[in-house]
């Protein structure tokens, strides 16, 4: 039997996490190799995909980003750029894309502020990534920082043919071919992913210190 009081929510959460991780390799490969990344002399980096479990996004100079959920909570630092990723999961595609963009910008802003004003609170993961030592909100430096525009658009699971759409475990629950009642159905979720790249020539750590308005250290 299904435990409607809590077991179903737990199973749904597990399914969501599995779906996110399972879709990361393919999705990050697309946003990494650059559906929107220029291939000219703009300086925007383009990743080489290294297949594996997990797949890796190779940006050179030792930055090989694993396609795991941790990549989305990390500030990646190349020799000439800053990089973050964002994701959103919700039924509406545009809302999911907005969530992804908001997360990528938020991770970029608050980890850059923390790196600039309280670097002792961050850890370097050894592959050019910065993560917070103690992931609590008060350990981040909070403030206002105008970021250069993001040249990348959020992508969603439609480009994969809907391959990573989330379906409720109650969808068509019961005998094979029988549909659940309307009250037992839930609209499929859509996944959206994006990356945020800022060239250091446009925003260095010194620029962050000069431009930021700090609200909490």
Q: Are 203 and 116 in contact (CB under 8 A)?
A: no
∠ at Cα 50 (148, 81), nearest 5°? Answer: 20
**Residue 41 confidence (pLDDT):** 61
Instruction: Check residues 72 and 167 and name the one with the higher pLDDT.
Output: 72
DSSP-based three-state secondary structure for 199: strand
pLDDT > 60? residue 78:
yes
* pLDDT band (50, 70, 90) for residue 28: low
**Residue 112 confidence (pLDDT):** 97
- Detail the DSSP E strand segments found in the chain: 48-50, 56-60, 63-66, 75-77, 81-90, 122-124, 129-132, 142-144, 155-156, 190-199, 213-216
Burial of 206: CB neighbours in 10 Å, binned 0-12, 13-18, 19+ = exposed
Instruction: Check residues 29 and 80 and name the one with the higher pLDDT.
Output: 80
Instruction: Check residues 90 and 112 and name the one with the higher pLDDT.
Output: 112
- Detail the DSSP E strand segments found in 51-136: 56-60, 63-66, 75-77, 81-90, 122-124, 129-132
Instruction: Check residues 14 and 75 and name the one with the higher pLDDT.
Output: 75
Mean pLDDT of 99-107: 93
pLDDT > 60? residue 183:
no
Give the start-to-end residue ranges of the domains of the chain. 7-216
**Residue 157 confidence (pLDDT):** 65
Instruction: Check residues 150 and 121 and name the one with the higher pLDDT.
Output: 121
Mean pLDDT of 122-147: 90
Dist. CA 123–CA 107, nearest whole Å: 15
Instruction: Check residues 113 and 39 and name the one with the higher pLDDT.
Output: 113
pLDDT > 70? residue 93:
yes
Condensed to tens digits (0 to 9), the pLDDT of residues 170-182 reads 434 344 444 444 4
Tell me which residue of 78, 74, 147, 151 sits closest to 111, measured CA to CA. 74
Cα 111 to Cα 53, 75, 99, distances in angstroms: 27, 6, 18
Express the helix, strand and coil content of the chain in percent, nearest 5 each. Answer: 35, 25, 40
Instruction: Check residues 169 and 112 and name the one with the higher pLDDT.
Output: 112
* pLDDT band (50, 70, 90) for residue 64: very high
Tokens of 138: 């008060």
Q: Are 72 and 65 in contact (CB under 8 A)?
A: no
Instruction: Check residues 38 and 124 and name the one with the higher pLDDT.
Output: 124
């Amino acid at each position: 039997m299904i435990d409607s009081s809590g077991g179903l929510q737990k199973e749904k959460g597990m399914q969501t996490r599995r779906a996110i991780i399972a879709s990361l390799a393919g999705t990050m490969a697309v946003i990494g190799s650059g559906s929107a990344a220029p291939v000219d002399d703009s300086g925007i980096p383009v990743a080489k995909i290294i297949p594996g479990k997990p797949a890796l996004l190779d940006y050179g100079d030792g930055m090989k980003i694993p396609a795991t959920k941790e990549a989305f909570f990390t500030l990646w630092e190349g020799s000439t750029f800053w990089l973050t990723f964002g994701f959103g999961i919700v039924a509406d595609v545009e809302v999911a894309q907005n969530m992804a963009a908001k997360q990528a910008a938020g991770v970029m802003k608050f980890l850059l502020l923390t790196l600039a004003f309280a670097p002792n609170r961050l850890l370097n993961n050894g592959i050019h990534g910065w993560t917070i030592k103690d992931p609590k909100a008060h350990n981040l430096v909070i403030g206002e920082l105008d970021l250069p525009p993001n040249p990348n658009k959020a992508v969603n699971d439609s480009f994969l043919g809907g391959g990573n759409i989330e379906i409720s475990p109650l969808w068509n629950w019961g005998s094979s071919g029988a549909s659940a009642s309307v009250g037992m159905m839930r609209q499929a979720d859509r996944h959206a992913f994006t990356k945020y790249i800022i060239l250091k020539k446009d925003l260095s750590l010194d620029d962050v210190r000069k431009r930021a308005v700090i609200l909490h250290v």
